[in-house]
């Protein structure tokens, strides 16, 4: 029996990935830039077992469809030249599929654990490439701190991988997550992306304008320029959501508390606090701030009607193996 356990953290995109240039290989239409969180965590054990006739995927104790897990594991099996099926046990210490990027940490932990179980010793570059097949954002969760994901040009996706931009410790921003809904989201990001690329009238403009956003965000991160990063991040977030809203049928992930959080965070920033927000494919609001603003932002978010929980996180490290064994 070949087995290993890995942990990985979710990441939050500041310049968003939305849209695919190749569905089968899961190649992004745009590059993206993210921060990896330390407080939230996925823990995944992969155990290859010749007695199994199919992969089994158990998420938080419940048997789930293993389709995407199998697609990802097939890449590692091919590299190891084996056909053995695996049992995958995964758990999240945060709500699954509610816009907290559980697929990012999930697939990053999966490939890191499978790589260790099979003794492949793949480079982070290859791990990122394989994780991307599970979920585009998972390619970024292989790394810690500030991470940039390339759109890539190649048709085989060899250059559509993430790479680290700046260590977590080099610019220790903090993140507060206002959870406004605990239930799983109604529409998965892949389906929503397909709807937008087929029907949103601004889709071409979205793809075209992502390059300057990425350049501005990269420059801001390397210069630790908070205001510049805040401006481009809020712009990228709202542009992505406007794109979703303009598709047919429309996609709207926000609820009333989501909007209340956005307004409150904007007001705090206007009053001089170093804080801005971002929102992914769900109703949760993530406030990114310098540490001196943390307590005021937390207090403000907790007082908003509809906010059921506020979680704090610093920036976290790379996906890593925590247990190996035969």
Q: Which residues bind ligand PMV (CB under 6 A)?
A: 13, 16-18, 32, 103-104, 135-137, 189-190, 280-281
CB of 104 to ligand PMV, least distance (A): 6
For 9, the 3-state DSSP assignment is: coil
- Report angle CA 13, 14, 15 to the nearest 5 degrees: 90
Quote the tokens at residue 144.
């810690």
Sheet containing strand 162-166, strands side by side = 11-15, 32-36, 146-149, 162-166
CB of 180 to ligand PMV, least distance (A): 16
Q: What whole-number distance in Å separates Cα of residue 294 and Cα of residue 141? A: 24
Give strand pairing partners of 87.
47, 56
Q: What whole-number distance in Å separates Cα of residue 280 and Cα of residue 295? A: 23
Decide whether 21 or 87 has the Cβ nearer to ligand PMV.
21
Decide whether 17 or 171 has the Cβ nearer to ligand PMV.
17
Q: In the chain, how long is the greatest CA-to-CA distance?
A: 62
3-state DSSP percent of the chain in helix, strand and coil, to 5: 40, 25, 35
Q: What whole-number distance in Å separates Cα of residue 89 and Cα of residue 271? A: 46
Decide whether 69 or 104 has the Cβ nearer to ligand PMV.
104
Q: What whole-number distance in Å separates Cα of residue 15 and Cα of residue 188? A: 19
CB of 33 to ligand PMV, least distance (A): 9
CB of 279 to ligand PMV, least distance (A): 8
CB of 142 to ligand PMV, least distance (A): 13
Q: What whole-number distance in Å separates Cα of residue 217 and Cα of residue 278? A: 14
Sign of CA dihedral 18, 19, 23, 26: negative
Decide whether 32 or 45 has the Cβ nearer to ligand PMV.
32
CB of 116 to ligand PMV, least distance (A): 23
Decide whether 17 or 203 has the Cβ nearer to ligand PMV.
17
For 67, the 3-state DSSP assignment is: helix
Contact 6, 96 (CB under 8 A): no
Decide whether 4 or 100 has the Cβ nearer to ligand PMV.
100
Residue 76 Rama label (left phi>0; alpha psi -120 to 50; beta): alpha
Decide whether 67 or 325 has the Cβ nearer to ligand PMV.
67
Decide whether 147 or 273 has the Cβ nearer to ligand PMV.
147
Question: Using CB atoms within 10 A of its CB, is residue 18 exposed (0-12), middle (13-18) or buried (19+)?
Answer: buried
CB of 250 to ligand PMV, least distance (A): 16
CB of 136 to ligand PMV, least distance (A): 4
């Amino acid at each position: 029996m070949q087995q290993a356990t890995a942990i990985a953290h979710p990441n939050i995109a500041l310049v968003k990935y939305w849209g695919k240039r190749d569905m089968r290989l899961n190649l992004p239409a745009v590059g993206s830039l993210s921060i990896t969180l330390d407080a939230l965590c996925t823990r995944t054990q992969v155990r290859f077992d010749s007695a199994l006739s199919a992969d089994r995927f158990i998420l938080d104790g419940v048997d789930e469809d293993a389709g995407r897990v199998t697609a990802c594991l097939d890449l590692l099996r091919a590299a190891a030249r084996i056909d053995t099926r695996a049992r995958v046990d995964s758990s999240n210490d945060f709500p699954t599929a509610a816009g907290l990027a559980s697929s990012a940490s999930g697939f990053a932990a999966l490939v890191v654990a499978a790589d260790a179980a099979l003794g492949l010793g793949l480079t982070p570059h290859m791990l990122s490439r394989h994780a991307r097949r599970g979920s585009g954002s998972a390619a970024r969760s292989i790394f810690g701190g500030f991470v940039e994901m390339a759109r890539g040009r190649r048709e085989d996706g060899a250059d559509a991988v993430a790479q680290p931009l700046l260590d977590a410790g080099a610019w220790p921003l903090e993140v507060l997550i206002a959870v406004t809904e605990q239930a799983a989201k109604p529409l998965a990001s892949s389906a929503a992306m397909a709807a937008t690329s087929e029907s949103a009238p601004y889709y071409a403009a979205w793809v075209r304008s992502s390059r300057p956003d990425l350049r501005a965000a990269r420059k801001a991160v390397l210069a630790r320029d908070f205001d510049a990063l805040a401006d481009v991040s809020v712009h990228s977030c709202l542009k992505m959501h406007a794109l979703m809203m303009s598709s047919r049928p429309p996609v709207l992930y926000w609820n009333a508390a989501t909007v209340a959080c956005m307004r409150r965070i904007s007001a705090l920033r206007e009053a001089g606090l170093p804080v801005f927000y971002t929102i992914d494919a769900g109703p949760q609001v993530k406030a990114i701030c310098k540490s001196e603003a943390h307590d005021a932002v937390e207090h403000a978010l907790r007082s908003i009607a509809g906010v059921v929980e506020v979680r704090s996180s610093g920036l976290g490290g790379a996906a890593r193996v925590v247990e190996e064994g035969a």
